[in-house]
């Protein structure tokens, strides 16, 4: 019997030599150039009521390399250039499938600097990774071991805004197996006063990573704003300083979410959440900063893929379900529930903590969906659909 192992990306920092850094910088520039040219070609074709697919853009790339103006594309590995055309094809597939917005051109300053290599574009032997067009292996800080006998199928190299180099190796991980089934289920209500409130009554504090570094970040951004516009060394130094603070905030937030989601998935067979449209909620300017810092979308994403790994089930309840206004004891629905009300007493005599009550109602609704077989996991709404502000969101973030 064939065993299908889960593919998992293992990300590490590495420290390139000057020659390697220069080669990768050239590769990033060529990847961006090819992507933008292919996108422009597809847009022009569409104005003529024609469609261009991956095979046609690949043929265009071959022709571009033969021109004197674009001959420099031959100086870098062809693998990342082909991969960026595949990424563009996926972007259009997602757009026509109404899963994403129309593909946009990549900016030299703002776009992510990365290049993807398939097996023909790198060599991995004896724990050393050597990319095409390079004579020496990368100096990788192996912070954790790859799965025993693992051989990467894809390698992605990237440079973040803080000047840190990363390499991500996609490997099959045989250690990821379904966990023993349990009969535990939990409702999860997200918020800002508390990051999570569980139907068990447990509340997870909101670490507010961005607010902890807000003063330091504001100072770095003021220093950056005082630098003259352009590509000067002082401005680049100030930009990296602000980016390092952002990176530290992001790293702490992601680490905390990983630990939290792993714990929830290990301990519960069924996890019920609310199907929020965060992209619309952050349009509220008074709460956008706090909502972004809470990273509800990232929390959901982690919860879903880890549940799929370990044989758990995530149920998303429709966002219009009145979880805050419904009494979890008798089912009575309150007419109004102002945001200032954090505890309330139902006519049946039950006193509720607003968030715990909402989590318990979510759990009940999720289990009901499972029993009746109705949409267990609703699709996320399309980008154009509007959604009301989540009623449980507390007052303005200081």
pLDDT of residue 202: 93
pLDDT in tens, the chain (398 residues): 345 678 999 999 999 999 999 999 999 999 999 999 999 999 999 899 888 999 999 999 999 999 999 999 999 999 999 999 999 999 999 999 999 999 999 998 888 999 999 999 999 998 899 999 999 999 999 999 998 888 999 999 999 999 999 999 999 998 889 999 999 999 999 998 899 999 999 999 999 999 999 999 999 999 999 988 877 889 889 999 999 999 999 999 999 999 999 999 999 999 999 988 888 888 888 888 998 999 999 999 999 999 999 999 999 998 888 888 888 888 888 888 887 788 888 878 888 888 898 899 999 889 888 776 544 444 343 333 333 334 444 433 43
Catalytic, 274? Answer: yes
- Encoded tokens for 252: 């702490």
Q: For residue 373, what pLDDT is reported?
A: 56
Given a contact cutoff of 8 angstroms between Cβ atoms, the answer to whether 185 and 271 are in contact is yes
Tell me what pLDDT residue 4 has: 60
Residue tagged active-site, from 23, 116, 210, 274: 274
Annotate 314-352 with b (16+ C-beta within 10 A) or e (fewer).
Answer: bbbbebebebbbbbbeeeeeeeebeeeeeebebeeeeeb
The active-site residue, picked from 189, 210, 275, 397, is: 189
Find the catalytic residue in 116, 210, 293, 355: 355
* Buried-exposed string 131-155: b where 16+ CB fall within 10 A, e elsewhere: bbbbeebbebeeeeebeeebebebb
User: Regarding beta strands 154-159 and 165-173, do their DSSP bridges make them parallel or antiparallel, or are they unpaired?
Assistant: antiparallel
């Amino acid at each position: 019997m064939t065993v299908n192992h889960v593919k998992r990306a293992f990300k590490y920092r590495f420290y390139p030599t000057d020659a390697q850094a220069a080669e990768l910088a050239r590769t990033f520039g060529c990847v961006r150039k090819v992507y933008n040219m292919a996108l422009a070609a597809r847009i022009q074709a569409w104005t003529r009521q024609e469609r261009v697919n991956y095979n046609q853009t690949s043929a265009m790339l071959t022709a571009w390399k033969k021109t004197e103006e674009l001959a420099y594309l031959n100086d870098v590995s062809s693998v990342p250039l082909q991969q960026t055309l595949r990424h563009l094809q996926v972007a259009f597939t997602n757009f026509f499938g109404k899963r994403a917005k129309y593909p946009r051109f990549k900016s030299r300053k703002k776009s992510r600097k990365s290049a993807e290599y398939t097996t023909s574009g790198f060599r991995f032997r004896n724990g050393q990774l050597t990319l095409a067009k390079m004579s020496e292996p990368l100096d990788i800080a192996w912070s954790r071991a790859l799965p025993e006998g693992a051989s990467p199928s894809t390698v992605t190299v990237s440079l973040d805004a803080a000047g840190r180099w990363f390499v991500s190796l996609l490997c099959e991980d045989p250690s990821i197996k379904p966990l023993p089934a349990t009969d535990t289920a939990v409702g999860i209500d997200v918020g800002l006063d508390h990051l999570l409130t569980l139907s068990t009554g447990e509340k997870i504090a909101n670490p507010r990573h961005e607010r902890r570094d807000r003063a330091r970040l504001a100072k770095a951004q003021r220093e950056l704003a005082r630098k003259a516009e352009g590509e000067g060394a002082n401005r680049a130094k100030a930009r990296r300083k602000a980016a390092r603070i952002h990176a530290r905030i992001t790293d702490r937030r992601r680490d905390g979410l990983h630990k939290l989601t792993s714990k929830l998935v290990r301990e519960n067979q069924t996890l019920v959440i609310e199907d929020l449209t965060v992209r619309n909620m952050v349009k509220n300017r008074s709460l956008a900063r706090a909502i972004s810092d809470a990273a509800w979308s990232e929390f959901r994403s982690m919860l879903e893929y880890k549940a799929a790994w370990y044989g758990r089930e995530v149920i998303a309840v429709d966002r219009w379900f009145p979880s805050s206004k419904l009494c979890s004891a008798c089912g009575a629905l309150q007419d109004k529930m102002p945001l200032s009300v954090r505890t309330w007493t139902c006519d049946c005599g039950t006193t509720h903590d607003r968030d715990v009550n909402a989590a318990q109602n979510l759990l009940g609704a999720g289990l009901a969906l499972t029993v009746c077989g109705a949409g267990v996991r609703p699709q996320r709404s399309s980008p154009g659909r509007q959604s009301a502000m989540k009623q449980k969101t507390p007052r303005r973030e200081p």
